[in-house]
Structure 1
Amino acid sequence: MTDARNRYRNAPKNADYTIDQDWASYSAEEHDRWNRLAAGVEALLPGRAAPEFITAVDKLGLGSGGVPDMGKLSEMLRPLTGWSVVPVADLVPDEVFFDHLANRRFPAGAFIRSEAEMEYLEEPDIFHDVFGHVPLLADPVYADFMEAYGKGGAAAMARGQLANLARLYWYTIEFGLMKGEDGLRIFGAGILSSTGEIRFSLESDAPNRVGFDLERVMRTKYEIDDYQQTYFVIDSFEALREACYGDFSALYDRLRDLPDIGPAEVVESDRVFHRGVGRAA
């Protein structure tokens, strides 16, 4: 990603890495780009996305109204769960990221992808961060889970086991599935901001779909440059929150002595919803 594509790259930063979104500076083309991205995703949400996500997209007005003003969005979100959305130029240091989450602030990239990157983006932009992540912050249970995740960051860093905690983020917050009354549903932001992965995660025979287990997830490596080879399925946001509350010290101790699991592996203890056939060569 070059500076020319992200005009916020060199914007003045506050001590917490937040910047001025300068919402009035978005061009008509950028607002149109948001609207086309949102329309493409919204068309695929019924019957695929978690109902809580669909409801929140409508409640927060994240559809075809152009690039959101994060200040106004926070004014709607804060009374619901105490969360706010703060603009940043790009990815922030880990300790800053965890501090924001622990204090119910979600740092969102302010730039929007270029026309050439509508289908694939190397780093998260405002559409990924706001359309993908923010809706579920309106759900009280999910909002509690996100705060707990942020509070766990400092402990993981101190133990040198941030990689294990990052896997939890990746396989739930970014690429999680959940059980629904009529089948699996998507709640991960990385899926919900990609029209291609929305279909792939639920409808392709290629990936594994495996029941969520905290230790299993923290042992599982992931890839960042392709669709996932394994998706983990939670039973509910309540179950996810309960699994991730509390001290992970004993779990981290066990993980030090256990081998990693590959992104495409299925292990004997897995609760398998679907065993994938793998990606074509």
Structure 2
Amino acid sequence: MFTEAQLYSPVTTGVDGDVTVHLSDQHPGVHDPEYRARRNAIAALALDYRPGAPVPPIDYTDEEQEVWRIVSVELARKRERYACAEVIEAADRLGLPSDHIPQLDEVATKLVPLTGFRYVPAAGLVPLREFFGSFADRTFHSTQYIRHHSAPLYTPEPDAIHEILGHANQLASPRFAALYETVGAAVARLETEQALKFLADVFWFSLEFGVLREHGEVRCYGAGLLSSYGEIEEFRDADLRPLDIHAMGTIDYDITHYQPVLYCAESIGEIEDVVGGFFETMTDETVARMVGVKPA
């Protein structure tokens, strides 16, 4: 099973203003009342956030801090072994702490001088247009909650470990950050849900689950792989196919399992040319032609 970034738990606000995060029956924390209360409180802070205001700090518990320390050390080891040089060097420049969970403002303080990206809080799922569109302003919407302490190396949904150890280490690279910004610019041109979904799927198979060849080995650069303790060990066994925008935007896939098909670039330059080139020029019409449907 795919252990990172499966599904966001739905978040609702009742008529009395109480915020509730609806964990699935299989979630490790579903039967822990203290964890559920924490999730509700953290989500409420994110929902109260307004652009331009200071990001609300989270008073993380000792258990949450210990989860971060365990996962941070383990993923750093795997990153050195399995990530591409561009990500390893970017992570070294960013220098995220391993002894405590960084607040989102702390992440931004480290990231802005490198690539201009800053982090803002998200309670859970952010609509695609808002999430991807914010990249144009070099803004990344991030959750702030931490997975349940009973399973530190597993999460059924994206948490701060995925958002920070996966995406921030990637966004610390000027080359990858430029690709994100290109995605944001593309969203501003798109009007159809079909084109937006196509963009999200190409992003999934590149900046979330992208791999490349480097010095005779297959290495990863996608944030979903960088933050998955399990899948980062397994991606080389996937069906590795050449970059193909049409295939990446139309293939059926299951986000709840390890990805059986990945698209492998020969270099970062090829990612920039093929994936970045597509994002730079894509429109509703070009996507409609690629999927064989004429725009209305």
TM-score normalized by structure 1?
0.82
The DSSP-based 3-state class of the residue aligned with 1:150 is helix
Q: Structure 1: where are the runs of 5+ without partners?
A: 259-281
Distance 2:252 2:190 in 1: 17
Distance 1:103 1:48 in 2: 30
| Cα separation, partners in 2 of 1:65 and 1:208, compared to 1, 3 Å | same
Code of the residue aligned with 1:73 in structure 2: it is V
List per-residue Cα deviations over 1:95-123 (Å, max 9, x = no partner): 22123211101111111111234343232
Would you say 1:212 and 2:243 are equivalent positions? yes
Maintained 8 Å contact 2:147/2:154 = no
Maintained 8 Å contact 1:215/1:251 = no
| Cα separation, partners in 2 of 1:240 and 1:26, compared to 1, 3 Å | same
Would you say 1:164 and 2:164 are equivalent positions? no
Maintained 8 Å contact 1:167/1:222 = no
Moved more, 249-258 or 124-133: 249-258
Moved more, 66-75 or 53-62: 53-62
Code of the residue aligned with 1:137 in structure 2: it is L
| Cα separation, partners in 2 of 1:18 and 1:180, compared to 1, 3 Å | farther
Code of the residue aligned with 2:140 in structure 1: it is F
Code of the residue aligned with 1:198 in structure 2: it is I
Maintained 8 Å contact 1:19/1:88 = no
Report deviation, 1:17.
11
Show the counterpart of 1:56: 90
Show the counterpart of 2:220: 186
Distance 1:42 1:211 in 2: 28
Would you say 1:42 and 2:73 are equivalent positions? no
Maintained 8 Å contact 1:98/1:154 = no
The DSSP-based 3-state class of the residue aligned with 1:68 is coil
Percent sequence identity is: 28
Show the counterpart of 2:289: 254
Moved more, 89-98 or 140-149: 89-98
Maintained 8 Å contact 1:18/1:89 = no
Show the counterpart of 2:113: 79
Distance 1:148 1:29 in 2: 38
Report deviation, 1:227.
0.3
Report deviation, 1:135.
1.1
Code of the residue aligned with 1:219 in structure 2: it is T
Moved more, 155-164 or 67-76: 155-164
Show the counterpart of 1:269: none
Q: Structure 2: where are the runs of 5+ without partners?
A: 1-8, 10-22, 24-35
Moved more, 38-47 or 193-202: 38-47
Moved more, 80-89 or 122-131: 80-89
Maintained 8 Å contact 2:63/2:149 = no
Instruction: Name the Cα RMSD after superposition.
Output: 2.3
Report deviation, 1:59.
2.3
Show the counterpart of 1:4: 37
| Cα separation, partners in 2 of 1:17 and 1:165, compared to 1, 3 Å | farther
List per-residue Cα deviations over 1:137-175 (Å, max 9, x = no partner): 121111110011122224344363222111111111111
Code of the residue aligned with 1:256 in structure 2: it is V
Report 1:1-281 matches (<5 A): 1=9, 2=23, 3-4=36-37, 6=39, 7-11=41-45, 12-15=47-50, 20-23=55-58, 25-158=59-192, 160-202=194-236, 204=237, 207-243=238-274, 244-245=276-277, 246-249=280-283, 251-257=286-292
| Cα separation, partners in 2 of 1:85 and 1:216, compared to 1, 3 Å | same
**Aligned length, in residue pairs:** 254
Maintained 8 Å contact 1:103/1:147 = yes
Show the counterpart of 1:264: none
Structure with higher RCO (Cα < 8 A, 6+ apart): 2
Maintained 8 Å contact 1:5/1:113 = no
Q: Which has the higher helix share?
A: 2
The DSSP-based 3-state class of the residue aligned with 1:160 is helix
Maintained 8 Å contact 2:43/2:122 = no
Distance 2:198 2:177 in 1: 21
